[in-house]
Structure 1
Amino acid sequence: MPEKHLFEYAVVRVVPRVEREEFLNVGVILLCAPKGFLQIRYELSEVRLAAFGNTIDCGELRERLRAFERICAGRKEGGPIGQFPLAGRFRWLTAARSTVVQTSPVHPGLSADPSETLDRLFRQLVAIE
């Protein structure tokens, strides 16, 4: 049986009007520190977002989500936050904030393959099939 490692994840949400506290799940960010894994998977559906009756600049929203991607990847492309250690980057990305892009509370689990777990969580929590 493959060895399982502790992982943590949060759902990435778009909150079109923060004061209404309505949101659309658009991604999942997963950290598995023992495997050196920190990735986000997201998909922005303009059709689903339009159901909120709000006009959000989807180009700007995509750029914010790409910033999450760059921070996960680290290195220079991730800016100053991208230079943090893996767990520090995850904590920064999942910190409570009152902006259009927010995350759920962090949840733990065990996984032998963090990439597969990220895909499964994305299908369960975000994707519409």
Structure 2
Amino acid sequence: MRAADTYDYAVIRVVPRIEREEFINAGVILSCQASGFLGARIALDEARLRMLAPEVDLELVRRHLEAIPAICAGGPDAGPIGALPLRARFHWLTAKRSSIIQTSPVHTGRCDAPERTLERLLDRLVR
């Protein structure tokens, strides 16, 4: 039996009013270097976000969130960041920033199947 690989992940957060430091979890990014995997899943609860910040520009939030899985997938449609190696893209996506879309600190785990682990984390931390 093959040993489990290590992976890193971060929770994607929507922070509509940075000065209040309130956020809702909206997705997960997972990187498993041994498997050559970088992926993100988004599950934005728009009603919950509207309760937290009625004035939020949902279209803007959606566009920013949709860019994350595209950057993970890479390729010409992901812009210059999508051309970077997997780990560089993961570090770029999880870098500290002061904007409406932020990520949690990076956490580490072990898994046999990164895709399944990503779905499990999304269920547990976002949905």
Please indicate, yes or no, whether the TM-score normalized by the shorter chain is above 0.5.
yes
- In structure 2, the gaps of 5 or more residues are none
Matches within 5 A, 1:1-129: 1-127=1-127
How far apart are the structure 2 equivalents of 1:13 and 1:81?
Answer: 20
Gaps of 5+ in 1: none
Q: CA deviation at 1:3?
A: 2.3
Question: Partners of 1:38 and 1:65 in 2: how far apart?
Answer: 16
Give a deviation string over 1:92-115, Cα, whole Å, max 9, x none. 000000000000000011100001
Secondary structure of the 1:51 match is helix
Identity of aligned residues (%): 50
Q: How many residues align?
A: 127
Q: 1:16 touches 1:54 (CA, 8 Å); kept in 2?
A: no
Q: Which moved more, 1:94-103 or 1:64-73?
A: 64-73
C-alpha deviation, 1:83, in angstroms: 0.5
Alpha-carbon distance between aligned partners in 2 of 1:104 and 1:60, rounded to the nearest angstrom: 20
User: What is the CA deviation profile of residues 51-95 of structure 1, one whole-angstrom value per residue up to 9, with x for unaligned ones?
Assistant: 213311111111101111111011111100001100000000000
Query: Contact 2:16/2:53 (CA < 8 Å) preserved in 1?
Result: no
- Runs of at least 4 residues off by over 2 Å: none
